[in-house]
Amino acid sequence: MDAKRKQAGRSALPFAVVAALAAAAHAGLGCGDNRLPPRDLPRADEQRPLPRWYPEKPWSEQGGESQVYIEGKIVFDTNKAVIRPGSEKTLETLLQFLKEHPEVTRLRIEGHTDAQASEEHNQDLSAKRALAVADWLVDRGVDNLRLIAVGFGESRPLGPNEIAAGRSENRRVEFHVAEVNGRPFLGQDPYAGGLALEVLSLEERKLRAEQAAQPKAPPPRRGFVATGDEIRPVQVKPRGAAAPEGEPPAPSAPAKDGAPAKDGASPGGGG
């Protein structure tokens, strides 16, 4: 009988300890809980809209849209066509798109600016920025004949140029499919009316850079060339001819000794 009681005591002890611990935890729940309260998700109208260049959907020929949406943005130095660090992810995604879509035989790279400077300056700057992106792709193995670099300047804004956010949105680079399998996509102009710059191969750019770095030689000096004898007409007035109006008469030559003076004058000059 004693053995059974001892066995029952051994089996009941753990349950008592567990019950006591559970009661203590429940009693201290109200004063020792340090969990943060749940946070409500922002409403749809409070969320910031995604930029226009966000990849809403992958490009396909059947989609009927020329623009290729690439996540991110290519940023340049102020008023220059120099790509800033931090744009590599977007460029790498664009490079991967060209590798995965060999049917895209020509891709148009469009440069756009805000309206801070003159229209001519902005169009030239936007074209040079588009060319900088094309050169980046050519340096990594893309055929230069697959790329078109055009600039539109401030002519196609996405936001108002009166505010900083609008100007930032207008400074952008877009990508559009210009040709598919050698034919204009959707029958549109591959250049879309922009200012186009020639996209050179890597070898051509190196050659032109070397030629520009060489000092220019001065033009050759022209040697002396004899013209020979020249006959020029000389106008000779006959003696005694009347002088033109407004000109004083030419003085007469002095008379020699013993010779009578002209016009009846005496040699002595007296009277």
Q: What is the pLDDT of residues 169-190, one digit of tens each?
A: 999 999 999 999 999 999 999 9
pLDDT digits over 112-124, tens only? 999 999 999 999 9
Is the pLDDT score of 1 beyond 80?
Answer: no
Is the pLDDT score of 87 beyond 50?
Answer: yes
Q: Where would I find the beta strands (DSSP E) of 187-250? A: 195-197
Q: Where would I find the beta strands (DSSP E) of the chain? A: 104-112, 147-153, 172-180, 183-184, 195-197
Q: What is the pLDDT of residue 267?
A: 46
Amino acid identity of residue 221, one-letter, is R
| pLDDT, mean of residues 100-104 | 95
Q: Which residues are within 8 A (CB) of 68 and not within 5 positions of it... i.e. 6 or more apart?
A: 59, 94, 97, 107, 175, 176, 177
Q: Is residue 105 a contact partner of residue 146, using CB atoms and an 8 Å limit?
A: yes
Identify the CA nearest to 134 among candidates 84, 185, 194, 197: 197
pLDDT digits over 203-212, tens only? 999 999 999 8
In the structure encoding, which two tokens stand for residue 9, read together? 């005591």
In the structure encoding, which two tokens stand for residue 58, read together? 């992958």
Q: How many CB atoms lie within 10 A of CB 153?
A: 24
In the structure encoding, which two tokens stand for residue 205, read together? 């750019």
Identify the CA nearest to 94 among candidates 62, 140, 63: 140
Is the pLDDT score of 97 beyond 50?
Answer: yes
| pLDDT, mean of residues 106-110 | 97
Burial bucket for residue 113 (CB in 10 Å: 0-12, 13-18, 19+) = buried
b/e burial code for range 161-170 (CB count within 10 A of at least 16 → b) = eeeeeebebb
Burial bucket for residue 116 (CB in 10 Å: 0-12, 13-18, 19+) = middle
Identify the CA nearest to 239 among candidates 225, 253, 226, 254: 253
Q: CA 267 to CA 254: how far, in whole Å?
A: 10
Q: CA 213 to CA 79: how far, in whole Å?
A: 24
Q: Is residue 70 a contact partner of residue 93, using CB atoms and an 8 Å limit?
A: yes
Beta bridge partners of 110: 150, 174
| pLDDT, mean of residues 27-32 | 50
Choose between 193 and 38: higher pLDDT: 193
In the structure encoding, which two tokens stand for residue 116, read together? 């801070």
pLDDT digits over 226-263, tens only? 777 777 787 877 776 665 565 555 555 555 555 555 44
Average pLDDT, the chain: 79
Burial bucket for residue 130 (CB in 10 Å: 0-12, 13-18, 19+) = buried
Beta bridge partners of 257: none
Token pair 């001892």 is found at 6
Token pair 């030629």 is found at 211
Is the pLDDT score of 36 beyond 90?
Answer: no
DSSP secondary structure letters along 29-50: HHHH--PPPP-PPPPGGGSPPP
| pLDDT, mean of residues 205-224 | 86
Choose between 260 and 271: higher pLDDT: 260
Q: What is the pLDDT of residue 9?
A: 45
